Structure 1
Amino acid sequence: MESIVIAAVVALAATLVVKKKKLTPAAGITGWLVAMAIYMGTRYEGLAYLALFFGSATLATRHQRGVKSHVEEHTEIRQASQVLANGGVAALLGLAAWLLPQYQSLFSLLMAAGFASATADTLSSELGTVYGSKFYNVISWKKDTRGLDGVVSLEGTLIGAAGAIAIAGLYAAFRQADSGCVIIALSGILGNYIDSVLGATLERKQQLNNDMVNVLNTVGAVIIAVGLFFLLA
C-alpha cells in the first residue's frame, strides 16, 4: 500500500512539474520511472537526494535567466534525455539495491555520490555564469570565455562544492556523519571536475554532447566513491 501511495504522489509531482513547464511530458514520465527505481532500492533516502538535486537545479536554472540568456542559449524546460543523463545512474543503483538488499548501504552511498556530482555540476554551471568574476579554461588555466564548455570560475567551483557538501549533509541526516560524508563530498567535487575536463576537450570537439558528459560525470563520481570506500573502509 505504501508503494502505491508513493507512486501516486510522485506521479502527481511529475504532473505538476510538467504543467509548470519545467519538464516535457516525456521527461515527466521518465522522471517518474527514475524516481520509482530509486525508491524501490533506497526508499525515502534516495528520493531525498533526488528532490534536493532537482529542487536546487530548478532554482539555479531559473535564477538570473536574463543574464544567462546573453551568454548562451538557455531554457528551463528539461528533456527526457537530460533526466536520464542526471538520474539514470541513480536509477540503476536503486534497482541494484532492490535486487541485492544486503548491499543497500553501499548502493545508497554511491547514489549520493552520483547526485553530489550532478548537483555540483548544475550549480557551478548555472550560478558560476552569474557570479563568476574571472573565467579560466580547466585544461590550460588560461582566461577563457564565460559560458563555454570547460570554462570554470572560482565562485562557480565553490558553489558546486557547496552543492556536493549539501548532499553529503543529507546522507548524514539519514545515516550518520562518518567517512561516507567525506566520500560523497569528494566524489561530487571530483566528478564536477571530470565534467569540466570533458567539456573542454571532447564536448568542444563535438565528440560528446552535454547529456553524454553528464552521464560520465556521475559515472566518474560513482567510480571515485567506490575507490574511496575501499580505501577508507
Structure 2
Amino acid sequence: MNIPLLIIAFVSKYLKTWEIVGVTLSLLIYSTYRAKSLKDEKFVSLLLSIPFTLSTYHVSKSVVFPGFFLSSISERKFKPLTRILYYTLLSTLFLYFYKSEFAASTIFVSLTVSTTLVLVEEVNNSVFAKIIAPPTIFLIFEIYSIQIGYFELIVAFFVALTLSYVAIKTKVADVTGLLAAIITGVISAISSILLFLQLFLFFAIGSAATKYKYELKKLRGVAEARGGARGFENVFANTLPAIFFALNYKYTGDASYAIAFSASIATALGDTLASEIGQTANKAYLITNFKEVRVGEDGAISPLGELAAFLGCLIIAAISLNPVVLLAGFVGVHVDSLLGATLERKKILNNAGVNFLSTLFAGYLAFLLA
C-alpha cells in the first residue's frame, strides 16, 4: 500500500489545489529522505501525481483523486478476479466518502476502473501505468456523464461473471484477454443488450473458429499462440473502436453510433473467420496482385476465407437488421487484408494495429452511410 499517495487522496477533499501540491511536495521531500533509491515506488508516484493534481484547476477533483486512491491500494497478492471485487468495494466506499452520494453508476464506474487497474497490473505493473490508468478511466466516465440504474448494474455484473466463467472454462483467453473482455463487455451491455449480444457472438464464434482445425494450422505455422488463447492486445485491437461507438450511443442516443458499433464488430468477426478458416484452405492469393502466396501470409485471401468473412459479417448484420452493417463490415475485412499486404508486410504495423484500423474504418464508414 502506498501510504503517501493514500494520504493525498483523502486530504484532497478538504484542500485547494495549491494546498494539495504543498502537501505532495512535503511528502515528496520526506520520501526522498527515506527512499533508498530515486526509483522507489512511493517517490516516483508522488512525483507523477503533481501534474495530475495541477490538472484539477480544469477538471473535477473527483476524477483525479479517486484514481490516486485506487493506485495507492494496488496489491498483486490476490488473484485477478478477487482483486477486481476488492478494488471495486473499496473504490465504491471512497467515492461515497468523496462525493457523498451512492448510486448504481458509482458502483459501475468502480467496477470498470478496478478491472482496468488489474489489467494494468497484469500487463505492465509499473508505477507510471498504475498512476495514469485509473484517473484516465474516471475522466472518460466524467466526460460521458454515464448514468445507469441498478438493473443495468446487475446486467453488467452478470456479463462480467459470464465472460469470466466462459473464458476460464474454454481457455479461449489468457488473464489479460479475459480482463479486456470484461471491460468491453460491461460497457457494451449498459449501452444496449443487442450490442452486447453482437460482441458476445464475436468472442464466442471467433474463439470457436480459432480452435477449428487447430492442429493443421499449427502444422502450417499459422496457428494462434498459447493454444489459441487471446491476449488483451487482440481483444482491444478488435473491440476498442466498437466500445467508442457504444459510449457515444449511450451518451447521445444516436442510432448511427449503434450501426457503427455493429459494422466494426462485423469486420472483427469477418476478419477472424477469414483468417482462422481461410488458413485451412489449400491455396491463397495476395489481395494486391492476386499472385499465389503461402496460406496464412499477411494480406492473403482465399475463396474459403472470403465465404467465411461474408458469413461473419452477415451474422452481425442480421442481428442489427441493417444492410449497411454487412456492406461496411465486409469492406472493413478487405481493408484489413490490404493493410496486411502493405503496411504489415513492411513491418510498419503489427497485426493489432491492422485490426484496430480496419474495425475503426468500418465503423466510420457505416456511421457516414447510416
Tell whether 2:357 aligns with 1:208. Answer: no
Structure 1 Cα separation of the partners of residues 232 and 359 of structure 2: 17
Paired residue secondary structure (2:355): helix
The alpha-carbon deviation at position 27 of structure 1 amounts to 2.0
The alpha-carbon deviation at position 51 of structure 1 amounts to 1.2
The alpha-carbon deviation at position 48 of structure 1 amounts to 0.8
Aligned partner of 2:242 in structure 1 is: 90
Aligned partner of 2:163 in structure 1 is: 14
Structure 2: which amino acid aligns with 1:32? I
Write out aligned runs for 1:122-201 (5 A).
122-130=272-280, 132-172=281-321, 181-201=322-342
Structure 2 Cα separation of the partners of residues 74 and 81 of structure 1: 13
User: For residues 61-110 of structure 1, what are the alpha-carbon distances to aligned partners after superposition, in whole Å with 9 as ceiling and x for unaligned?
Assistant: 01100111022242311111111111111111111112212x1x111111
Aligned partner of 1:222 in structure 2 is: 363
Aligned partner of 1:51 in structure 2 is: 200
Structure 1: which amino acid aligns with 2:232? A
The alpha-carbon deviation at position 153 of structure 1 amounts to 0.3
Tell whether 2:169 aligns with 1:31. Answer: no
Q: Tell whether the 8 Å contact from 2:259 to 2:367 is kept in structure 1 after alignment.
A: no
Aligned partner of 1:177 in structure 2 is: none
Aligned partner of 2:259 in structure 1 is: 109
The alpha-carbon deviation at position 221 of structure 1 amounts to 0.6
Aligned partner of 2:153 in structure 1 is: 4
Structure 2: which amino acid aligns with 1:98? K
Paired residue secondary structure (2:324): helix
**Unaligned 5+ runs, structure 2:** 1-149
Paired positions, count:
217
Structure 2: which amino acid aligns with 1:122? T
Q: Tell whether the 8 Å contact from 2:262 to 2:325 is kept in structure 1 after alignment.
A: yes
Structure 2 Cα separation of the partners of residues 228 and 4 of structure 1: 33
Paired residue secondary structure (2:279): helix
Structure 2 Cα separation of the partners of residues 222 and 100 of structure 1: 16
Structure 2 Cα separation of the partners of residues 226 and 34 of structure 1: 20
The alpha-carbon deviation at position 14 of structure 1 amounts to 2.6
Q: Tell whether the 8 Å contact from 2:164 to 2:182 is kept in structure 1 after alignment.
A: no
Q: TM-score, normalised by structure 1?
A: 0.89
The alpha-carbon deviation at position 4 of structure 1 amounts to 2.5
Structure 2 Cα separation of the partners of residues 73 and 134 of structure 1: 16
Structure 2 Cα separation of the partners of residues 19 and 196 of structure 1: 31
Picking from 245, 252, 257, the partner of 1:100 is: 252
Aligned partner of 2:232 in structure 1 is: 80
The alpha-carbon deviation at position 50 of structure 1 amounts to 0.4
Structure 2: which amino acid aligns with 1:154? P
Q: Which structure ranks higher in relative contact order (CA pairs < 8 Å, sequence separation ≥ 6)?
A: 1
**Unaligned 5+ runs, structure 1:** 173-180
The alpha-carbon deviation at position 8 of structure 1 amounts to 1.9
Q: TM-score, normalised by structure 2?
A: 0.57
